[in-house]
Structure 1
């Protein structure tokens, strides 16, 4: 699936949140959506997922608006993982992950073999199989996030949109999650993840989209987007740079004054 956003704008309580956003998302690409708190990342992701209507602009899915595709067809082709990992259900993890198969199932029908295989594959991919019989209330925040990621993967969608999927994960599972996203993208699925870890974003993503005050400041390869001027303007920071195993990385190093950031 290809998603095209053109001229997206939205405001809350009279305050502009996004303005003039033009963005194209393609299959087989891992895109990191980065920016400071309040830059508009979550709002943009929700608009791309057809969960929030923009005040201006259009979003097309393979050249068609969501209303033309229909809710069921869009839900089969696009998976969304919300921010935070909070859940209101006291359900077993297996039942939660099975919810990812709802767009593919007839009402009140039992799980098919294809459904069961998708659920098992999603648990295995997120290293969450040990939690299948446990209730979500008994899991830590990071464990819940892995279960919710498994639910999104169980959809087997053509496009996965994940809002801060690394929150609550320990360093090992952060690395494994990013490696998983890269494998999913390499297999042909489009993946967009909201990230705050610039080092992981630069190392794993094919492309970064940097938001600053509701606009796209930079869009392109990580090495281009994560330059000193962009990071100073968007985050007000200076970074340390290094290389390990032939891969470049950046590490937030120093907060800049407003004067330094605007130079």
Structure 2
């Protein structure tokens, strides 16, 4: 699947949140959306998922508009994992993951063998098989996020859009989630993930898109996007760099003093 966004602009509450966004996404690639708070990452992800209309610009899915493609077809092709892991239902984890199969089923139809297999694969991949009978209110925030990730994986969509899927996860499950998302992409699906951890973004993503003040500041290979000038401009930080197992990494190290601080 390919998503083409051209000259996207969005205003929320009278404020221009996105402007002039040009972005191409394709299957088989893991793309990290990074940028400071308020840069427009979540807004852009919701536009790409057709959950929020753009005020200007065009959006095409394999060359078609969402309307031409049809809501049900789009729901089968794009899976969306929202930020926060908030769940308002008192449901068992297994039932929540099963919701990911709804786009593939006729109304009121029972799960078939393909549904059961997809649910089992998703729960195993997200390491939540042991939670099948537990209600979501009995799980920690990180455990709930893994269940919701499994629900998104159960769709077996051509494109997975995930908004901060590492929120609340411990370091082990952060690494496992990023490895899982990368495997999902390299198996043929497209993955777009909003991230705040620059070292994980640089290590696991094939490509990074850096947003700043509602615009694309940089788009390309991680080492080119995570250069000193881009990080200073977008985040106002200096980074410490190193390498492990032949892979470079960048760790936020210190804020760059503001002009009023240096003047004093």
User: TM-score with structure 2 length normalisation?
Assistant: 0.98
Q: How does 1:86-125 map to 2 (within 5 A)?
A: 86-125=86-125
Q: How does 1:188-207 map to 2 (within 5 A)?
A: 188-207=188-207
1:259 and 1:157 map into 2 onto residues whose CA distance is 48
Which residue in the other structure is 1:212 paired with?
212
Which residue in the other structure is 2:143 paired with?
143
Deviation at 1:180, TM superposition (A): 0.4
Which residue in the other structure is 1:84 paired with?
84
Which residue in the other structure is 1:70 paired with?
70
Which residue in the other structure is 2:162 paired with?
162
1:14 aligns with 2:14: yes
Spell out, residue by residue over 1:148-174, the C-alpha distance to the aligned partner (whole angstroms, 9 max, x if none).
Answer: 000000000000000000000000000
Which residue in the other structure is 2:56 paired with?
56
Deviation at 1:30, TM superposition (A): 0.3
Spell out, residue by residue over 1:214-261, the C-alpha distance to the aligned partner (whole angstroms, 9 max, x if none).
Answer: 00000000000000000000001000000000000010000112339x
Deviation at 1:67, TM superposition (A): 0.2
Long gaps (5+) in structure 1: none
Spell out, residue by residue over 1:91-132, the C-alpha distance to the aligned partner (whole angstroms, 9 max, x if none).
Answer: 000100000000000111110000000000000000111101
Spell out, residue by residue over 1:179-222, the C-alpha distance to the aligned partner (whole angstroms, 9 max, x if none).
Answer: 00110111110000000000000000000000000000000000
1:134 and 1:25 map into 2 onto residues whose CA distance is 36
Q: How many residues align?
A: 261
Which residue in the other structure is 1:178 paired with?
178
2:259 and 2:77 map into 1 onto residues whose CA distance is 46
Which residue in the other structure is 1:32 paired with?
32
SS of 1:95's partner is: helix
Deviation at 1:14, TM superposition (A): 2.0
Deviates more, 1:251-260 or 1:25-34: 251-260
1:59 and 1:48 map into 2 onto residues whose CA distance is 8
Spell out, residue by residue over 1:55-99, the C-alpha distance to the aligned partner (whole angstroms, 9 max, x if none).
Answer: 001110000000001000000010000000000000000100000
SS of 1:203's partner is: helix
